[in-house]
Copies of this chain bind each other. A is one copy, B any other.
C-alpha cells in the first residue's frame, strides 16, 4: 500500500472515530512524524481529506478537522433523503434480480443479533452495510455513488455521537426489512416510502440524543500532544455553531 493511502486511511479513521476532534490542527510536520511518512504523501492525504470535507483549510495556514454539529445532521439528512430515495427508485427501475428478498429475511431475524453480544451488533451493522451495497449495485449509477460518498462519510462521523440504543436498533431492523421487502417486490413507491420512514426515524433518533461527549479513544495521544497541552475546553458544545463556514 502506498504511504499516502496509509496516511489518508489513518487520518480518516482518526477523524471519524473522534480521536481527532473538530478544530484540531493537522500540521504537516507533526502528522508526518506521527504516521511515519514524509510530508509529500501526507500532503496528498490531507488533500483527499479536504476533498471529502473531513478537513478544511484554516485561514491559509494548515488544515483543521472540520466541524460537525447537530445542525449539520439536519442538513445532512436533507441531502441524504432525496439521494437515498433516488437510489431505491433506480434500484427498482433497473430491475435487477438482486438478493433483496434474502436480505429481508435476514433483517427479520436481526433481533437475535441485536439482543446478542457485541459481535452480534457488529453483524447487524454489517447487514445494513450489505443492503446499502446491494442498493448501490442495483442503482448502478456512478454519479449517485459519488454524491452519496461524502454524505455517508459525514454520517459515519456523526453516528459516533449516538449511543447504540437496542430499542432503536430493533426498530431500525424492521424499517430496513420493509425497505428490502419493497425492493424485492419491485415496488418503487413503497420502497421510497419505507426509506422516508426510516430516514425520518433515524434523524429523529439522532436529534434526540443527549449529545454524549465522544470518548476520544486514546491511541493518538501523541497526535493530540500539541493541543492537549493547551487543555482545550469541551469541544462538542463549542462547535455546534461554528459550522457553515
Contact = CB atoms under 8 A, between A and B. Distances in A.
Interface of A: 40, 43-44, 47-48, 51, 53, 72, 75-76, 78-79, 81-83, 85-86, 90, 140-144, 146-148, 150-151, 154, 243-244
A60 to B, nearest CB: 10
A39 to B, nearest CB: 10
Nearest to A76: B143
Contacts of A86: 78-79, 81-82
Contact of A82 (B44, B47, B85): B85
A195 to B, nearest CB: 12
Give this chain's copy count: 2
Contact of A83 (B75, B83, B244): B83
A48 B52 CA distance: 11
The winner among A76, A82, A85, A146 for most chain B CB atoms within 10 A is: A82
Nearest to A47: B47
Contact of A150 (B76, B78, B147): B147
Contact of A147 (B40, B43, B83, B85): B83
Given A44-B43, A47-B44, A47-B48, A146 B150 contact: yes
16 contacts: A43-B44, A47-B47, A47-B48, A47-B51, A51-B51, A75-B141, A75-B144, A76-B143, A78-B90, A79-B83, A79-B147, A81-B86, A82-B83, A83-B83, A143-B150, A143-B154
A154 B243 CA distance: 28
